[in-house]
Amino acid sequence: MSKLSHIRNFCIIAHIDHGKSTLADRMLELTHTILERDQRDQYLDSMDLERERGITIKAHPVTMKYISQAGEAYRFNLIDTPGHVDFAYEVSRSLSACEGALLVVDATQGVEAQTVANTHLAVDQGLVIIPVLNKIDLPSANVEEVCRQIEDVLAIPMDETFTVSAKTGEGVGAILEEIVQRVPPPTGKLEGPTRALVFDSTYDSYRGVISYIRVVDGSLRKGDRIRLMSTGNDYEIKEVGIFNPKPVALGALETGFVGYLTGNIKDSTEMKIGDTVTRIDQAAADPLPGFKQIQPMVFSGVYPVNTADYEKLKQSLEKLVLNDSSFHFQTESSAALGLGFRCGFLGLLHMEIIQERLRREYDMDIITTYPGVIYSVYLRNGEISHVDNPAHLPEITRIGHMEEPVVLASIICPNEFIGDVMQIIMDKRGDLEKTETIDTRRVMLTCRMPLNEILIDFHDRLKSATRGYASMDYEYSGYQDSDLVKLDIYVHGELVDAFSCIVHRSKAVERGRQMCLSLKDVIPPQMFAVPIQAAIQKQIIARETVRAMRKDVTSKCYGGDVTRKRKLLERQKAGKKKMKQVGRVSIPQDAFISVLKSSQ
Amino acid sequence: MSGLYIHIPFCVRKCLYCDFYSLETMKGPISGRLKAEPEDQNQFLDSLESEFGSAPPEFRPDTVFMGGGTPTELSLSDLRKLMSMIHRMADLSGVTEWTCESNPGTITREKAELLRESGVNRISLGVQSFNQRNLDFLGRIHSPGDVESGFRMLRETGFENINLDIIYGIPGSTASEVEDDIEKIVELGPEHVSCYCLMFEQGTPLTRMLNEGHIRRMADDDELEQYRMIRKLLNKSGYTHYEISNFSVPGMECRHNHLYWGDGEYLGFGPSAHSHWQGIRRGNVRSLKKYINALQSGDSILEFSERLDPEAKARETLVMWLRRLDGVPRNKFAEHTGYDYRDLCSDQIDYFKENGVLEDRDGRLVLTEEGLFVSDAIFSELL
Ligand SMILES: Nc1nc2c(ncn2[C@@H]2O[C@H](COP(=O)(O)OP(=O)(O)O)[C@@H](O)[C@H]2O)c(=O)[nH]1
Ligand code: SF4
Ligand SMILES: [Mg+2]
């Protein structure tokens, strides 16, 4: 019996909430990887945020021992992957660490946008796909119909589909057996040059970076000298092990194994996802295919509410980067907000997660600016500049033309909402490329649209126009020429850089008006009327006025109690101090937050 | 110049907006606010006398102000006791102005004569409004008719210096009601008028009604309209607007109040009374019980005391002086505080001047009419 024949590496892919984590829970129980008394729901989602939001952010590998019906022991490595588009690259790396995928579809919902996107990713990686219809315990489960969808939309034969209830455990045993039968064992050379794929990493303040790896060829053991092939950096392995589901140190990780290694790697940016680890004494000539430097796609300024917290924010961001190298930051300063950071994220969800972790885990009060993308600015002198901050846009006279990133989005929605959805797509400057029917009730619309437009209320509008029935997924799809302008906001004649944004010319007036209006609502009356203006190159395109405070007089001087009067005035002054001063205008912190929110 | 203030902590019934310290003397389960006990008045007068005993020997006031509460709510005999005690305990030889606050519902001819004979030469009458609905809203105990008869009686008793207090900005009131109020006042012809905007103080029944949504604040535009109207009508009738909330016929400004906003010295006696003496501000406890007990046991009756550093003190003075419509004389301010106000806040002053809310007038810094309406916003920046 070859060493590899009794290993199965697989992952679970699904649209959000279709039951991926719950199915993983049942498999952990059936294989006695965790005891029932340790069981809690969504066991693998260990981050607070993951458990609370019910999403998987990090990949979570776990090794299980399965005794097949024929009585043979198998080593199952399950990798629970994040399902969200923001993490598409991580997902693709996790998938490439596997030979098979369980495709979970909620039998009450049917195929959704991420079902399609994730299936395509898995097929691209050459994985064997085992379709699993989940939630059959629910009366609204429509097994036949959903099986047909899987066949029609994903081209997976109906008769291969398994039906289970991840909740009750019904049917889950049959899947384990099917994994043995259908997922191929790893291939790879036991001897000779060593190659291992890094598919994720976390950070621990004692042990440094903990890399999640899949050994493809050869083996790795404690004390081995290794090299990362993208950087050429060398390290010595301090520990290797598997997740069971807690980390368990082993003497060696053999060919086909999924586990972790540590090696005094100080910073997760040194250990890039998709990189290849090789041994110096068994060096591989070529890295594993598919490595990419991932670039952030969405940018926003992050500032401490309290300017004195700048250093604390910096330290928090440094710690965050240690275990999330896909997130970037760089110092920037804003006239209105002071010193802060321009941060780059993989997408909107990633941005929200980082911001929420800053608030919760690091207890930071932050203000975040309008999210934007990277624009390619072609200058007249032939240079190209990549602009991620509206404040850095070159002089308009120097610009030849600009390009913006676009995505290819697939939206699945019930037939009766097609008109509304098309309207939203048009409003968002999208081009419809294709319409396909999913079943008698639903269609899938594929369209190309600027990423910039998706960042702002697209998802919310889609959900509310379809009473929550639409689902969406997208992939990045290059750059396209675009007529973009920089929209500036002036408060009392002063430019508030934090509110500047780059928008399509056709959207500028509407956006400008909207921002002026919401500012008008949140800036309290000042001593004088305060004009709020939106402008393109100093030309005003929208304006509102915060009316002057009409009256602010207290009359009585309580029987000689001057102190009380003074304290009241001091409180009034202190209240104002807490606000950001833009020239002479005091803007409450909330105003920044709510204006930036309302325009998202 | 210095002043003597005496706080009489009794009212027949608490007005709904009031947060001055006073106990209700009216019996019955009406307001749920603090009630006076039968023996309180006696004990109060004894305690007051013992507090007087600790006044500095050099204290020789130029003005006296009896406030509260409602001094005229004391019985005729208690009032007589009080007046003779003041004469006994304080050197009144320099007094030029002696005010007693009163309420149209509690002043009787006997009490007025007693006050007059004891040296009181100025009466401040809490009118608040001539409109019954507005009086009811405020929870006042008197009617518009009481004001007119009370005023006439005071004149007959020989009072030649009378102040009337009125309140504007009462939710539900209209500009024309305020116009009526001013017309009635002008008809009566007091020497002095104080106009206060209704305030929602913490802990009052009115504020509770506001928070519970039973009533609504007046829009600030309407408040402003009322304030402007009061200013216009009183000016037209020969009253000078000399302080943010005070008007008088020429030469009849209230000297005692001027000590408050002019950084003058005064000693206050009675629960919750405030003093400003030799640079220290003090406040007595806001509780008659504590006040009485402390005086009996020889403990401190102070609730707080503070001495500001010179700069903070100068800023406070600047702000309080600015309440006067003739402004802050630069020289006199420098003499008094040791600071040039331009050194304290030239940026703010210049900015306010640019925007027309402050101006220089003959070596004085003055609120403009526009500035008057937003004076708190200006003051809070200057502090
Ligand atoms: N009734 C029922 N509910 C299920 C089943 N599987 C999962 N769920 C519920 O569906 C929700 C989403 O499940 P989860 O495993 O977090 O989905 P994931 O987002 O794909 O990981 C949770 O509330 C689960 O309890 C099932 O088989 N039957
Ligand atoms: S009469 Fe004056 S002190 Fe007494 S409750 Fe009314 S407002 Fe307050
Ligand atoms: Mg999950």
Closest alpha carbon to B281 in A288, A564, A492, A343? A564
B376 and A557: CB-CB below 8 Å?
Answer: no
Of ligand 1's listed atoms, the one at least distance from the Cα of A22 is 15
Question: Is the predicted pLDDT of residue A486 greater than 70, yes or no?
Answer: yes
Where do the domains of chain B lie? 2-259, 310-382
> Of ligand 1's atoms, which has the minimum distance to the CA of residue A135?
27
Is the per-residue pLDDT at A14 higher than 50? yes
pLDDT of residue B152: 95
Cα(A288)–Cα(A275) distance, integer angstroms: 8
Q: How far apart are CA B278 and CA B266, in angstroms?
A: 9
Place A459 in a pLDDT band, splitting at 50, 70 and 90: confident
Among B227, B357, B383, whose Cβ lies nearest the Cβ of A566? B383
Evaluate: CB of A167 within 6 angstroms of ligand 1. yes
Q: Bridge partners of A62?
A: A78
Q: Are A462 and A488 in contact (CB under 8 A)?
A: no
Would you state the pLDDT for residue A320?
85
Query: Is the predicted pLDDT of residue A37 greater than 70, yes or no?
Result: no
CB A384 within 8 A of CB A376: yes
Mean pLDDT of B77-101: 94
**How far is residue B259's CA from residue B222's CA, in Å, rounded to a whole number?**
32
Instruction: Give percent above pLDDT 90 in chain A.
Output: 51
CB distance B7 to B268 below 8 Å: yes
Across B279-301, average pLDDT: 93
When scoring B163, B373, B382 by the number of chain A Cβ atoms within 10 A, the one with the most, hence best to mutate, is B373
The protein residues having their C-beta less than 5 angstroms from ligand 3 (an ion) are: A 21, 56
Q: Does the pLDDT of residue A325 top 80, yes or no? A: no
- Ligand 2 mutation pick, B8, B12, B20, max ligand atoms within 8 A of CB: B20
* Cα A286–chain centre separation: 30
Is the pLDDT score of A582 beyond 50? yes
B336: number of Cβ within 10 Å: 15
- Cα(A590) to centroid(ligand 1), Å: 37
CA distance, residue A566 to nearest chain B CA (Å): 7
Question: Percent of chain A at pLDDT above 70?
Answer: 92
Q: Is the CB of A42 under 6 A from ligand 1?
A: yes
Helix (H, G, I), strand (E, B) or coil at A29: helix
User: What does the alpha-carbon distance between residue B275 and residue A562 come to, in Å, rounded to a whole number?
Assistant: 9
Is the preceding omega at residue B69 within 30 degrees of 0, hence cis? yes
Whether residue A520 contacts residue A544, with contact meaning beta carbons closer than 8 Å, is answered with yes
Q: Which amino acid is at B348?
A: Q
The ligand placed nearest to the CA atom of residue B70 is: 2
Chain A nearest CA to B137, separation (Å): 20
Sheet-wide strand order for A60-67: A60-67, A73-80, A7-14, A100-106, A128-134, A162-163
Residue to substitute from A526, A527, A546, interface B, most B β-carbons within 10 A: A527
Residue A103 or residue A584, greater confidence:
A103
Query: At residue A295, does pLDDT exceed 90?
Result: no
Which helix H or strand E contains A477, and what residues bound it? strand A471-482
Residue pointed to by tokens 């330290």: A315
Q: What value does the mean pLDDT take over residues B109-135?
A: 95
Residue of B nearest to A525 (CA): B377
pLDDT for the residue numbered B109: 95
Chain B residue with minimal CA distance to A560? Answer: B260
Give the max Cα distance, chain A: 99
Q: Which atom of ligand 2 is nearest to the CA of B13?
A: 5
Whole-model pTM: value is: 0.65
Residue A216 confidence (pLDDT): 96
Residues with Cβ within 8 Å of A382's Cβ and at least 6 positions away in sequence, in order, are none
Q: List the single residue in A with minimal CA-CA distance to B196.
A: A555
| pLDDT interval class at A558 (50, 70, 90) | low
User: In the CATH hierarchy, which fold is given to the domain comprising B2-259?
Assistant: TIM Barrel (3.20.20)
| Binary contact (A552, B376; C-beta < 8 A) | yes
CB B260 to CB A569 under 8 A? no
- CA A582 to chain B, closest CA, distance in angstroms equals 14
Mean pLDDT of A371-382: 93
pLDDT at A473: 87
* Phi, psi (deg, nearest 5) at residue B76: -55, -40
Residue A36 vs residue A486, higher pLDDT: A486
Name the residue among A557, A562, A573 with its Cβ closest to that of B380.
A573
- Which pLDDT does position A438 carry in this prediction? 86
Q: Which atom of ligand 1 is nearest to the CA of A20?
A: 20
User: B158 CA to middle of ligand 2, Å?
Assistant: 25
Mean pLDDT of the A245-266 span: 92
Task: Kindly indicate whether the domain formed by B310-382 is annotated with CATH number 1.10.10.920.
Answer: yes
Instruction: Pick B163 or A266 by higher pLDDT.
Output: B163
Q: Does the beta carbon of A410 sit less than 6 angstroms from any atom of ligand 1?
A: no
User: What average pLDDT does the segment A492-502 reach?
Assistant: 87
- Helix (H) / strand (E) element for A338: namely strand A338-345
Residue B274 to residue A561, Cβ atoms within 8 A = yes
CB B360 within 8 A of CB B351: no
**Nearest chain A residue to B319, by CA:** A566
Secondary structure string (H, E, C) spanning chain B: CEEEEEEECEECCCCCCCCCCCEECCCCCCCCCCECCCCHHHHHHHHHHHHHCCCCCCCCCCEEEEEECCHHHCCHHHHHHHHHHHHHHCCCCCCCEEEEEECCCCCCHHHHHHHHHHCCCEEEEEEECCCHHHHHHHCCCCCHHHHHHHHHHHHHHCCCCEEEEEEECCCCCCHHHHHHHHHHHHHHCCCEEEEEECCCCCCCHHHHHHHCCCCCCCCHHHHHHHHHHHHHHHHHCCCEEEECCEEECCCCCCHHHHHHHCCCEEEEECCCCEEEECCEEEEECCCHHHHHHHHHHCCCCEEEEECCCHHHHHHHHHHHHHCECCCEEHHHHHHHHCCCHHHHHHHHHHHHHHCCCEEEECCEEEECHHHHHCHHHHHHHHC
A81 lines ligand 1 (CB under 6 A): no
Alpha-carbon span B273 to B20, nearest angstrom: 10
Q: Would the pLDDT of A298 be above 70?
A: yes
User: Distance, CA B117 to ligand 2 centroid (Å)?
Assistant: 25
Phi, psi dihedral angles at A243 (to 5 degrees): -100, 130
Determine which of A18-32, A349-363, B221-235 has the lowest per-residue pLDDT on average.
A349-363
> What mean pLDDT is predicted for residues A202-219?
90
Q: Is the pLDDT of residue B94 over 70?
A: yes
Q: Is A408 in the pocket of ligand 1 (CB under 6 A)?
A: no
Query: How many residue pairs from chains A and B have C-beta atoms closer than 8 A?
Result: 104
**Is pLDDT of A97 > 60?**
yes
* Least confident interval from A235-244, A468-477, B267-276: A468-477
Across chain A, what does the average pLDDT equal? Answer: 87
Cβ of residue A19 lying under 6 Å from some atom of ligand 1: yes
Ligand nearest to the CA of A171: 1
Summarised one tens digit per residue, pLDDT across range B7-20 is 999 998 889 999 89
Give pLDDT, residue A460: 84
Ligand nearest to the CA of B106: 2
What does the pLDDT read at residue A201? 85
CA gap B319, A595 in Å, rounded:
35
pLDDT computed for residue B230 by the predictor: 95
State how far the Cα of A171 lies from the Cα of A134, in Å rounded to an integer: 9
3-state secondary structure of A187: coil
Is residue A1 very low, low, confident or very high in pLDDT (cuts 50, 70, 90)? very low
pLDDT at A600: 43
* Peptide bond preceding A245 in cis form (omega within 30 of 0): yes
Q: Name the closest ligand to CA A23.
A: 1
Report whether pLDDT(A31) > 60. yes
A286: exposed, middle or buried (C-beta count within 10 Å: 0-12, 13-18, 19+)? exposed
Q: Which of B254, B248, B120, B242 is nearest to B192 (CA)?
A: B248
Nearest residue on chain B to A583, judged by CA atoms?
B351
Amino acid at B262: G
Distance B11 CA to ligand 2 centre (A): 6
Question: Residues of chain A whose C-beta is under 8 A from some C-beta in B?
Answer: 527-528, 549-563, 565-566, 569-570, 572-573, 576, 584
Ligand 3 centre and the CA of A570: distance in Å?
Answer: 51
Sign of the Cα pseudo-torsion (B186, B190, B195, B200, in order): negative
pLDDT at residue A54, rounded to an integer: 58
Q: Does the pLDDT value for residue B116 go beyond 80?
A: yes
| Residue B98, number of CB atoms within 10 A of its CB | 22
pLDDT of residue A161: 92
Nearest CA residue ID for atom 2, ligand 2: B69
When pLDDT is averaged across residues A17-43 and rounded to a whole number, the result is: 82
- Is a pLDDT exceeding 60 seen at residue B130? yes
Out of A555, A566, A569, name the one closest to residue B245 (CB).
Answer: A555
**Mean pLDDT confidence for A10-14:** 92
Reported as a single tens digit per residue, the pLDDT across B62-72 is 999 999 889 99
Over range A192-205, report the average pLDDT.
90
- Least-confidence region, from A539-553, B9-23, B134-148: A539-553
Could you tell me how far CA A284 lies from the centroid of its own chain? 33
What is the pLDDT at residue A557?
57
Lowest mean pLDDT among A318-322, A480-484, B209-213: A318-322
B276 CB neighbours in chain A (<8 A) are 560, 562
Strand blocks (E) in A205-271: 208-217, 220-221, 225-228, 234-236, 239-243, 247-250, 252-253, 258-262
Note whether A555 contacts B196, CB cutoff 8 Å: yes
Mean pLDDT calculated for residue range A499-525: 88
Range with the poorest average pLDDT among A187-191, A356-360, B13-17, B295-299: A356-360
**CA A251 / ligand 3 centre spacing (Å):** 32
Per residue in A388-441, pLDDT tens? 888 889 988 899 999 999 999 999 999 999 999 999 999 999 999 999 998 888
Question: What is the percent of chain B with per-residue pLDDT over 90, rounded to a whole number?
Answer: 74
d(CA B148, CA A383): 87
Classify each residue of B300-323 as buried b or exposed e, where b means 16 or more C-beta atoms within 10 Å of its C-beta.
Answer: ebebeeeebeeeebbbbbbbbbbb
Q: Whose CA is nearest to atom 13 of ligand 1?
A: A19
